[in-house]
Amino acid sequence: MKIFDRLEPAFVILNREVRDQFRDWRIIAPIIILTLVFPGLMNFTAGQAMGFVRQYGASLIGERFIPFLLMIVGFFPITVSLVIALESFAGETERRSIEPLLSSPIEDWQLYLGKLLASLIPPVVGAYLGIITYLVGVYWNVGWKPEPMFLLQIVLLTTVQALVMVSGAVVVSTQTTSVRAANLLSSFIVIPMSLLIQGEAVVMFWANFDVLWWIIFGQAVIAVLLIRAGIAHFNREDLLGREIDTINFGHMLKTFVAGFVGQAKTFLEWLGDIRGALRKLTIPIITMSVLLVAGFFMGMYIAQNIGIQASDLNLESLKDLNGGLVSGLRGMGFISLAETGYIIFHNFRVVAIATALGMVSFGVIGVLIMMLPGAVFGFFAQFASAAGISPLTFLLAFAFPHGLFEFPAIILSGAIILRLGATLVTRTPGLSIGEAFIRAFADWMRVFLVVIVPLFILAALVETFITPYTIGLVLGL
C-alpha cells in the first residue's frame, strides 16, 4: 500500500494532463484523423502490392509486405504524437504555466513520472487504434490475418518503441529551455528509430520473427535506462533557474583536465592515480567479463543451430583452410610489422566505434560490440569441435597467446563504456550531467592511454609473430 500511496501524486498529475489533452481538439483531432486515414492508405497500398506481385507469381513478396505495413501503421502515430512529450516541460516552462505545478508539495520523481505517463497515453492509444483499423481493412480487402504470436510481437514492439521515443523526448524536454530547441533535438530520437525500423523491415521480409523478441528486449532495456536517466537528472529548481543554454568550451576543457590530471603533481603520481580509476571499474569489469564469457557460449550456440555436423568438417579440411597461410609465414621467416599496425588500428577503431555508440545508448550497443570477439571465438570453437579439435585446444592455440593481452583490453574497454553509460543514468552530487560525463570520459582517456593501448600493442605483436605458429603446431603444419 505504501508504494501506491507514493505513486498517487504521479497519477494525479497523469489525470490532470490527460484530461487537458483530450479537451484540446488541436491535439486529439490530428491523432484521430491520421490514425484512421493512414491505415486506410496502407490498406490501399497492401491491396495494390498484392495485385501487382500476383501478376508475376510472387505472392510471397506481397505477404511479407503486409506485416511490414502493420508495423509502420503502429509507428506513425507515435512520431506524430511525439510533440506532446517534447512540450511536456519545455512548453510549460516557456509559458510560465509550470511554476504552480513545480511549487506543489510532491517529489521530483512523482512529477516526472506523471508527465511521462501522460505523454505516453496519446501515442500508444493512437498506435493501437491504427493497428486495429489496418487489420480490419486488410482482412476485408485481401483476407490476410496475422498469427497470434506475431500480433503479440507487433503490439509489444509498438509499445516499447513508444516508450523509448516518449521517454527520450521527455528527457530532452527537461534539458532544454524552449520548444524550438526540443523539436530540433528530437531528430536524435526520430532518426535512430527510423533506422531501427528499416532493420526490423529486413527481419520481417526474411520472416525471422524470432529476432523481434531480441529487438523488443533491447528497446525495453533502453526505455528503462532513459526513464532512469530522466528521473535521476530532473530537478525542478534547475528547470526554473535555467534561462538559456550556452556551450562553455572553456569550462568543458577545465573539467576534462581536472578529471584527466586529478590531484597528481608529477607524471609518476599521475600513473599511480590510474589505480584509483581502475578501482571505480571493479563492478563494470566483473560485468563485462561475465558478458564476454556469455558471448562465447552464444557464439557456440549459434554455430550449433546452423547445422554444423562432424561430417561437414574434418581436420584435413581445416588444415587446407589454414595451411597455406601458416606455411607461407614459416617460409618467409618473418612477418611484416605492417600487419601488426593494421591489427592495432583495427582494435582502436572498434573501441572508438563502440564508445561512440555506447554514448548514445547508455553503453548497451557499445557493450554488445565488445562482446563480439567472445562470440566469434565461440562460433569457431564449435567449428573446430566439429573438425575433431576440442574447444579447449582451439582456444589455447588460436586465442590464448594474444588473447592473454587482448581480452583484458577488451574487458577494460567494455567496462569503461559501461561506466560512461551509468554516468548518464545516475546523478553525481555536486556535478551536472555534462560535468559528470566529462569526468567519466577523462577517466576513459587515462585508462585507455596507460593500460588499454599497451595491451592492444602487445596483443597485436603476439598475434602477428606467435599465434600463427601455435596454430601450425596444433594443425600439424
pLDDT reading at 55 higher than 70: no
Q: What is the overall mean pLDDT for the chain?
A: 76
Q: Give the pLDDT score at 268.
A: 78
Q: Give the pLDDT score at 323.
A: 45
pLDDT reading at 430 higher than 80: no
- Give me 162's grid cell: 513508444
Give 425's contacts (C-beta < 8 A, 6+ positions apart).
225, 228, 229, 232, 362
Give tens-digit pLDDT for 149-198.
888 988 899 899 888 888 888 888 777 777 777 777 777 777 778 778 87
pLDDT reading at 247 higher than 80: no
pLDDT reading at 3 higher than 70: no
Alpha carbons within 13 A on the beta-carbon side of 318: 24
Alpha-carbon distance values, 273 to 46, 213, 325, 417, 455 (Å): 63, 44, 44, 20, 19
Give tens-digit pLDDT for 261-297.
777 777 777 777 777 778 878 888 898 999 999 988 8
Give tens-digit pLDDT for 9-35.
777 777 877 777 777 666 677 777 777
Mean pLDDT along residues 138-158: 83
Q: Are 370 and 285 in contact (CB under 8 A)?
A: no
pLDDT reading at 335 higher than 60: no
pLDDT reading at 5 higher than 80: no
Give tens-digit pLDDT for 394-415.
778 778 888 889 999 999 999 8
